[in-house]
Structure 1
């Protein structure tokens, strides 16, 4: 992934003195807390991927393993969702405030290769079922499959105007990634009280994560909000010490 001038600056940096060659052969675990309706989470995922590319450029022996941590922002939304445009107008108070927020997100998004299409989104969905699909993908195919599925779900919501709260839509997306449709639907239609939501929320609280996107490295210090790739790469490198 292209990361511009940051690549050259990071490659030129020296490794922290306390990180020796043996240490650099260890794995870095990153926990990434996110929700699928949060544009900053999509930006944060892209920045994390750019940071991993930077780290690999300077230290190819380092392996980064990302654990994808679900943290739905609006778990009490109706399962059918609510009108997206009206939701943000009420949340931010005025059309000008909505436009200003979208302009800010778009500017940062473009720098990471993301083009948001806010105007064509019809519904703000309840994302619990989508997160259950992600967890199912992890159990079936591991973190790599989850990462691909998360990308597809972000794209569905922010770029394709697909309802990621609709179980049939989710089952179809999962099927494209090799998840058997009938089994996926059976999982997603389970009663709401059977969802992993309490576990997700408790895990975030335990790690000190109060919002998304959130990052937790080996030092267990929660990092909130989108992170510049170069800074995140250095934080990952230092966490090896």
Structure 2
């Protein structure tokens, strides 16, 4: 992680703010990348090393492509082989892994949905989606890694930013995350359930409760996703 001296950080922050106002473009679903960028800048992190779990697409709805375009790099994890190849072609500085993330190492069945953003290794989530009229396209067997294995074997250092969107098992993966070993400054996590009618969607308060218990506060929320920041890192700046 690159931290700048306070006086250099202040000058860089003002210069970055001017540039952002002129040319900022969000690639996230609802501007989460710009919220994260602002928070990371306040933490003195100008080029974050990121981990994008459930990357889905190299640019569209991406929480990390904004940073990639500005010189950052990291690890993109996508279980769908077809989508992973697309990410590899566009994000050549990133390490792109065609694996699922879960609570144990092994293999998993990926339910590839016709709506690709809903593909999941959770049979329960797949059943919910089909009840809502979404159809499964095919099933694919993919390797599965725990967060600990992913971090140990594929991340060259601790990520500053983790984007997590894995359709139905986000909470399980966060429960399995060892925050004593790897404590990212910032998480972007999907915290809204999927429904046919947006009025019926609910916030997953259990994710917010877990993150609060781990020492993270809500920096921003776009209804679909929540941006969590590490209280220790924030207090240290």
Normalising by structure 2, we get a TM-score of 0.29
Comparing both structures, which one devotes a greater share of its residues to helix?
1
Normalising by structure 1, report the TM-score. 0.29
| Greater strand proportion | 2
